[in-house]
Structure 1
């Protein structure tokens, strides 16, 4: 059984666990309004992009994450593998400082660190908040990392390519700075993302996307 002190200390040693995205020099939050968001959702190019991305059930994202709060900060390497609603997230700190792994589904996840501490939870978001003190939107991240809103209530703003530029959902502001092409596919996936809420700021810089089509992983770099 992991207590809050030991697990949080390990997460900080790992650079920080369970999230993605810092904001060292993030832009000022963009004001979003409901009428513009509704108009954006009706954009045919955006709707086609959303449909194409949601059809990808098996994918992998490799990159670097950083997190900053008022009193803490750190960086970690990320390997996120999604297979339908099953996920495996591996976070490695630089210089072999430690590893944290999360595996399972949104309703049941196993959290393991490199010291062997493990916790099985049916409410990952509540467990992470209890262990670390951070309220991390675990359920929304698989959508946000792919440049998609998690639910219909989110306010969205599109860029000139009709991709997600800014997202506001349940108090979280997600800013998409840039996208990268996926060779062999007529779409682009996010490359730099910043997520902010209250005193938490996280940033993800993607090094590669890998999409599994018919049992074959197709990388993007």
Structure 2
């Protein structure tokens, strides 16, 4: 997997570097943004089937990799495919809340009951798959409990701190409302870093 994604990590990490964090909203505006976010999270969780296409870069402080990503989510079930177009190599992570399967690595298929742990064991990279499935839509991860959220002038999250992770967002120009979806996020915890650039959102087939 490291060789699969290792061709352009530095370029993608630079291309999707975080935007400067803006000042927090005044208290009254923040309260309104939090109420709107709760409504938005309820709407998005009621529609748990989605898909995205984009680019991903991951790093553990010493090694990194990047490639194309195709993510299909249906409730708790997921199928995440990554590929390096130049080498034409790819791998696929699939599973649900209770099991995970990783295909495409040297040594054959690997399975486990925790997708994040499976990836750490196989690659050395820290990718919080289950939480990321919620964070990627700008929603707090239910399994991780309390979170600190900072909101931008558009009333949407510009930063979520949860479970030791910090996630920063970029939204499309003019984005607003309950079904707004980000175009970019940067998640980091210690030396672990995951960056996603979303080229296309869609309903899961």
Q: TM-score range by the shorter chain?
A: 0.7 to 0.9
Q: Deviations over 1:9-59 (max 9, x none)?
A: xx111116xxxxx74232467899xxx8xx659733222211221121211
- Counterpart of 2:130 in 1: which secondary structure? coil
Runs of 4+ in 1 over 3 A off after TM superposition: 27-32, 39-42, 179-182
- Alignment partner of 1:95 out of 86, 92, 107: 86
Structure 2, gaps ≥5 residues long: 7-11
- Counterpart of 1:126 in 2: which secondary structure? helix
Q: Which moved more, 1:142-151 or 1:88-97?
A: 88-97
1:155 aligns with 2:148: yes
Distance 1:27 1:180, change over 3 A: closer
- Alignment partner of 1:64 out of 48, 51, 55: 55
Could you tell me the TM-score, scaled by structure 1's length?
0.75
Structure 1, gaps ≥5 residues long: 1-10, 17-21
- Alignment partner of 2:116 out of 125, 138, 144: 125
Aligned-partner Cα distance in 2 for 1:65–1:56: 24
Distance 1:40 1:76, change over 3 A: farther
Match for residue 180 of structure 2?
A: 188
- Alignment partner of 1:73 out of 37, 56, 64: 64
- Counterpart of 1:49 in 2: which secondary structure? helix
Match for residue 9 of structure 2?
A: none
Give the CA deviation at 1:205: 0.7
1:31-70 aligned within 5 A: 40=31, 43-70=34-61
Distance 1:202 1:186, change over 3 A: closer
Match for residue 13 of structure 1?
A: 3
1:205 aligns with 2:205: no
Q: Deviations over 1:121-148 (max 9, x none)?
A: 1122222222222232122011011110
> Does the CA contact (< 8 Å) of 1:30 and 1:166 recur in 2?
no
> Does the CA contact (< 8 Å) of 2:60 and 2:193 recur in 1?
yes
Aligned-partner Cα distance in 1 for 2:60–2:31: 32
